[in-house]
Amino acid sequence: MKEVMTKTLFVVAAGSGGHILPALVLAQEWQTANPTGQVIFIGSGATLDAKIVASHPFIAHALSLSLDKFSIKKFWLYPKVIYQIIKAFIKSRSYITRYQPEKIICTGGLIALPMSIAARQKKVPVDLYELNVEPGKAVRALMPFASRILITFAQTKQYCRFFGIDYAYKCDVVPYPLRFTQADKKFDKSEILNRINTVTTDKNNLFSEKRKTIFIVGGSQGSVFLNNLFKQFIEEHHSIASSIQVIHQTGSQHAVNWHEFYAQANIPAYTFGYDERIKDYYLLSDLIICRAGAGTLFEIEFFEKKCLVIPLIAQTTGHQIENAQALAEKHPTLFHVLKQHDIAKNFDLFSDTILRLLVR
């Protein structure tokens, strides 16, 4: 009797929750459609990758590729970079030969490059997802090797060029791969409050239905800028302490003792780096303060929450500004955008916007 081969899907993502989480949503959809198939996750081997993947038991295997970030200006690192790319390419070919995936899904990141080149050689189709308005350098470099480019903003087509070649013909507009369903909008507010109160370290300041909830979303790696900004806001507006409670995604690397800070300010607060129950915090929020990663913005849109968006200004891309502007044009009553350099010039702009949105 001829042996039936198990279908296999490769999912390639690394670097941040913004890359990994939507990739795993897509993998889960494939697994549901192929219950006897197996999903193999390929990441960077970082702690964050492992933590997120561990919470998704449907993944059959987790493999890794090592490729350091680099700048084209640092020419003295070229030999090391070339060595790593060659090594990662050989490893990618080995993975493909061993598991024979029917398709590869990737959401960007440097490690997807050697895997996609190997897939092209092995004639394995690659679905490349660009979830921001403007593609980053890694995604642009992947476009020649992608079978399809799946985009969540129609405007992205105009950016799908690499070395003068237009790849817009490969693009299809698709919904953002959200990890939530309509059933997730149903909740018991008192139940969420009670759960937070059981784990909070400050039993003198407990969450209450009478207070407004502010949720600071810094992403899986946190945002030092947002952290410092909100800290200054609390220090300059002591009178607000009696009317708010705070859920704060601080990230894992931060210098401030946030438990102590909020306790001294007499503000009920729950702080965390990464938490699978983030749905509850969206639901509880009266105002969200966030960066403009596509995942965060689409989740806020899904839960229909007011938010103050401060896009990250990066040297290599302005994709967060374009993400924020696109959603603000679509939902002007939900998305309120402030630019980082405007806040740096006038901090009251940030404070006044928070106070105004809280009373609406």
pLDDT tens, N- to C-terminus, the chain (360 residues)? 334 468 999 999 987 778 899 999 999 999 999 999 999 999 887 777 788 888 899 999 999 897 766 555 666 666 887 888 899 999 999 999 999 999 999 998 888 999 999 999 999 999 999 999 999 888 999 999 999 999 999 999 999 999 999 999 999 999 999 999 999 999 999 999 999 999 888 889 999 999 999 999 987 566 888 999 999 999 999 999 999 999 999 876 666 889 899 999 999 999 988 777 899 999 999 999 999 999 999 999 999 999 999 998 866 557 899 999 999 999 999 999 999 999 999 999 999 999 999 987
Same domain, 149 and 96: yes
**CB of 263 closer than 8 Å to CB of 205:** yes
The domain of 319 spans: 182-359
Neighbours of 219 (CB within 10 A): 19
Same domain, 326 and 354: yes
* DSSP secondary structure letters along 209-232: TTSEEEEEE--TT--HHHHHHHHH
Same domain, 82 and 191: no
Which residues neighbour 190 within 8 Å (Cβ) at sequence distance 6 or greater? 209
Same domain, 59 and 168: yes
Which residues neighbour 40 within 8 Å (Cβ) at sequence distance 6 or greater? 8, 9, 10, 11, 59, 60, 61, 62, 63, 95, 99, 101
Q: What is the pTM of this model?
A: 0.88
Same domain, 154 and 24: yes
- Number of domains comprising the chain: 2
Is 107 within the bounds of a domain? yes
**CB of 104 closer than 8 Å to CB of 125:** yes
CATH of the domain at 154: 3.40.50.2000
| Helix (H/G/I), strand (E/B), else coil: 154 | helix
Query: 173, 194, 212 — which closes off a domain?
Result: 173
**CB of 272 closer than 8 Å to CB of 252:** no
Same domain, 60 and 163: yes
Is 239 within the bounds of a domain? yes
Is 148 within the bounds of a domain? yes
Query: 120, 151, 173 — which closes off a domain?
Result: 173
Question: For residue 59, what is the enclosing H or E element?
Answer: strand 59-64
Same domain, 119 and 204: no
Is 1 within the bounds of a domain? no
Burial class (CB in 10 A: 0-12, 13-18, 19+), 54: exposed
Same domain, 212 and 345: yes
Which stretches does DSSP call E strand in 7-51? 8-12, 38-43
Query: What gap in Å lies between CA 92 and CA 110, rounded to an integer?
Result: 13
Same domain, 158 and 211: no
Query: What gap in Å lies between CA 42 and CA 98, rounded to an integer?
Result: 14
Tokens of 115: 């895997």
Query: 146, 173, 200 — which closes off a domain?
Result: 173
Same domain, 156 and 228: no
Is 84 within the bounds of a domain? yes
Strand pairing class (161-162; 165-166): antiparallel
Question: For residue 162, what is the enclosing H or E element?
Answer: strand 161-162
Same domain, 240 and 301: yes
Is 21 within the bounds of a domain? yes
Is 344 within the bounds of a domain? yes
Instruction: Please compute, for residue 155, the number of CA atoms within 13 A of its CA located in the half-sphere on the CB side.
Output: 12
Is 322 within the bounds of a domain? yes
Same domain, 254 and 346: yes
